[in-house]
Every structure is written in C-alpha cells, then in structure tokens.
Amino acid sequence: MKKSLKERLAILSDAAKYDASCASSGTVKRDSSASGGLGSTEGSGICHAYAPDGRCISLLKILLTNFCIYDCAYCINRSSSNVERARFTPEEVIWLTLEFYRRNYIEGLFLSSGIIRSSDHTMEDMVRIARELRTIHNFRGYIHLKTIPEASAHLIEEAGLYADRLSINIELPTDAGIGKFAPEKRPDNIRRSMGELRLKMEEMAEPTLQTKRRKKFAPAGQSTQMIVGADGASDATILGTSARLYGSYGLKRVYYSAFSPIPDSSKNLPLIKPPLMREHRLYQADWLYRFYGFDIGEITSSGADGMLDLDLDPKLAWALGHRERFPVDINRADREMLLRVPGLGTKSVKSILSARRFRKLRLEDLKRLSVSLKKVQPFITAEGWTPHRLGDRADLRAMFEPKPEQLSLL
C-alpha cells in the first residue's frame, strides 16, 4: 500500500538529518515586494526553529527519495540497509516547500536524494523542482541542491541558475577512507566536480560584454561535509583536507558531522556516542584557520597524534604552548596578535582597535565590551594591569580545564 504523505515526510526527513548544513545565508538579496511572488533572502539566514539536538532548522531538509544504488557504510540510506523506503514526486516537494514557507516555518528548501537508476535521472528531477519553484511559482526563497558528482554538465549548470547553493559531500577526509567505506564513490570525481563548480562560478561572475551584468550562478557558493569519527583519520588530516578544499575550490563552508549511530547500522562501523566535543573543536579550529590567521600546522601541532585537545579550545591550547608570545599589550598590539589572544573574538578586537584611538584601555573597558576577564587576564597587559608572570604559572592550564567530576558513591 502506498504510504501517506505524512508517513513519507517522516521517512524522508529522518533520512536527511545526517547532513549538518542548514545554512540559508550568504546569497544575494532579493525579495518579492516589487515583482510579486513569494519569498525573500536578505543576506543573513534565519533559524526558524531549534530541535532538542541544538541544531538550527532553517530549511526544509528532505530527500527526494531514500532508495539508493550506492552502499556507503556510514549512510542510513545505503542499499544494504533495511530502513523503510519512500519517495516524493517533484510536485509534492514543491507543495511542501511552498506551504511550509507561507507559514514562515522555513527559509527555503535543501533537497538531496539517494541515487536511483542513474545520476542524471536523479539530478534531472532535482533540477526540475528548483526550476518550477522559481519559474512557475515565483519562489524567491533559498534553495540548496545537493549535486551528484557524476551528473552531466548541463544539469549542473542549470542547477546553478536556480539554486543559491550547491554542495557535494566528500564525507571522508582521505581517498583511502572513501575507498573503504563508500566503494562506489570516486574521490577524484568529487574533486573534479568541485573544480568545475568553482570555474563555473568564476566564469559567471565576470560581467558580460554587452550588458555588464553579472549572471547569477549559485550565489551562495558551494559547501561540503566530512563525517568525523567513522574512520581513523586524525584531526590534522581532517583539517588539512579542509584547508585544501577551501583553497582549491573556494568553498564557503566545510561542515563537520560527528558520526552518529544510525538505525540498522553496518557491522563495519562503531556504534558509539557521536563525538560531539571533537566536532565542536574542529569547528573552532576551522574558524581559526579562516578568520584568525592561524595555519593548520599551528593549530594541530600542540596535541599528540595530530588530535586537538578536547579539554581546551584550540586557541587557548595554542597560547599555552606559546607563552613567550604573551602578554600582549592591548593598547599597542596589531590586529593579527590581538586575534591570537584567548578570549578575544573578531568583534571585540574591532572594538578594541576603535576605542583605543581615544583612550588607554583598562580591564574595565574590556569588561564593558563583554570580554571574559578570567580568560584574557593572564595573556594581556592593559592600562593599570600587568599579569605578574601569570603566564608562566605552571597551573595555568588547570585554571582553564573543566573541573574533574566528583565521583559519587554507588
């Protein structure tokens, strides 16, 4: 018997939840006020709800179908799994997107799919959904399409005309890992597809000769995801791969997804609690690389075996390993060095640089800028404050480590 729409919605959103990305930001500004229709995007995304897993729900994140001819060990939808299978028609996906959008539940659609019959067949249906949303229903909300690396170039090109973001998941950081866990996936194809997307985006960003207008091709760029903890890759390996992806393909984001037990799990994989803290540290390290001027080598060198310290955030861990660089004078240091002070973020550094032109800053000033004094104190000097060799204290690390949990009697 055919499953109802409700049943299929449950199956196909459950199947999509292992994709971490839910971003709806970074695309062009557009709205429906002048042209009619439905929807707008205004630069920063909106999280319309949060699930009890702490994740933002911004998009209707579903699969077109969870039937899949691939057998990737880590994936809930792999062909050898016994999960319930279902599929939507393109019309149903369009209807759900529009009705959810009208009630302000979502910013738009994140559509992905298992691969059925062939890559092109699947990609064609996904492109059709995006095209009809845009051209028939005048939908101006956000669309993120998962791209299938083996799909034909003309389909990818059309996808980029309608979607804000395209993404291809690399899933595992090494070619060997992909070979082992996702035997049908070809890492070289994934890299080549990402390269083609970057070339396409750059080509379209050039103003055309006649109109000087730039065409829009996936204006929110491309992103990818790596699963953390399914294979044996170290944090240094993972972050090294991220750095290469950012540099090579201009990715907007690399998402890290702690491997999470899935129903009917493959015997090759650990049924463990997802390493959430590790995932968190990887995001912090990724940020340090992209916005704080750190090299991957600097971030990962302090830990053993290329693993990040789980107890301390990577910036603090770096500072404790490089005490000779501290204390930093907040009234004189340049931006690069201020960014390396534990407890100072890009915003507080900006405020410090602005405020110190008018007066010498004291600790009270920092406190008003919502900087955690406990965290920055040992690493800075300010007007009226010197840390008195605090930076050399042997127990400095212990000051920041999480307190050991008290054991209770059985």
Partner 1 sequence: MMYRYALRGRGDLAEWRNAARGFLGAGIAPDIIDWRTMDDADGLFGVADNELPEPLPHHVPASVPPAFIQLAESVICHSDPTRFALLYRILFRLVHDRHLLQMASDADVVAAQRMAKSVGRDYHKMTAFVRFKELPLPADVAGHRRFIAWFEPDHFIVKRVAPFFQRRFNDMDWLIATPKGSASWDGESLRTTDDPAEKPDLRDETDDLWRIYYASIFNPARLKVKMMTKEMPKKYWKNLPEAELIPSLIANAEASVLDMAKREASQPLPFHHRLQEAAAMVPEPVMPVAGTLAALKEQARSCTRCDIYCRATQTVFGDGPTDAKLMFVGEQPGDQEDLAGKPFVGPAGKLFNDTLAEVGIDRQSLYITNAVKHFKYEPRGKRRIHQKPNMGEVRQCRWWLTQELELIKPKLVVAMGATALFSLTEMRQRLEDVRGEPIAMEDGRVLFVTVHPSYLLRIPDEGRKAEELIRFREDMSRVKRLAA
**Sign of dihedral through CA atoms 388, 394, 400, 403?**
negative
Shortest CB 402 distance to partner 1, Å: 15
| Closer CB to partner 1, 78 or 165, in the complex | 78
What pairing do the DSSP bridges indicate for beta strands 328-329 and 49-50?
unpaired
Q: How near is the Cβ of 309 to partner 1 at its closest, in Å?
A: 21
Q: Within 360-389, which residues bind partner 1 (CB under 8 A)?
A: 361, 364-366, 368-369
Contact flag: residue 209 with partner 1 (CB under 8 A): no
Least distance from partner 1 to the Cβ atom of residue 314, Å? 17
Closest distance to partner 1 from the beta carbon of 157 (Å): 16
* Interacting span for partner 1 (CB under 8 A) from 30-38, 164-172, 325-333, 335-343: 30-38
Q: Which stretch binds partner 1 (CB under 8 A): 2-10, 209-217, 323-331, 384-392?
A: 2-10
Residue 236 as a binder of partner 1 (CB under 8 A): the answer is no
Distance CA 139, CA 303 (A): 48
Residue choice 25, 27, 61, 377 for contact with partner 1 (CB under 8 A): 61
| Closer of 126 and 361 to partner 1 (Cβ) | 361
Residue from 121, 135, 153, 192 binding partner 1 (CB under 8 A): 192
Alpha-carbon span 191 to 222, nearest angstrom: 12
Instruction: Give residue 218's region: left, alpha or beta (phi > 0; psi -120 to 50).
Output: left
Give 244-283 as a DSSP string.
Answer: HHHHHH--SEEEEEE----TT--TTS------HHHHHHHH
The residue range among 271-279, 325-333, 335-343, 381-389 that interacts with partner 1, by the rule CB under 8 A, is 271-279
- Which tokens is 339 given? 């960014």
Nearer to partner 1 (CB atom), residue 126 or residue 201? 201
- Which residues 107-136 are close enough to bind partner 1 by CB under 8 A? none
Piece of 213-221, 267-275, 324-332, 402-410 that binds partner 1 (CB under 8 A): 267-275
Q: Does 191 bind partner 1 (CB under 8 A)?
A: yes
**Can you tell me whether residue 7 is helix, strand or coil?**
helix
**Is residue 204 a contact residue for partner 1 (CB under 8 A)?**
no
DSSP letter string over 113-146?
----S-HHHHHHHHHHHHHHHHHTS-B-SEEEEE
Q: Please give the backbone phi and psi of residue 165, each rounded to the nearest 5 degrees, phi first.
A: -135, 145
Q: What DSSP assignment string belongs to 212-230?
A: -PPPPSSTT-EEEEEEESS
Q: Which stretch binds partner 1 (CB under 8 A): 4-12, 221-229, 333-341, 399-407?
A: 4-12
Nearest CA-CA partner of 379 in 370, 371, 389, 369: 389
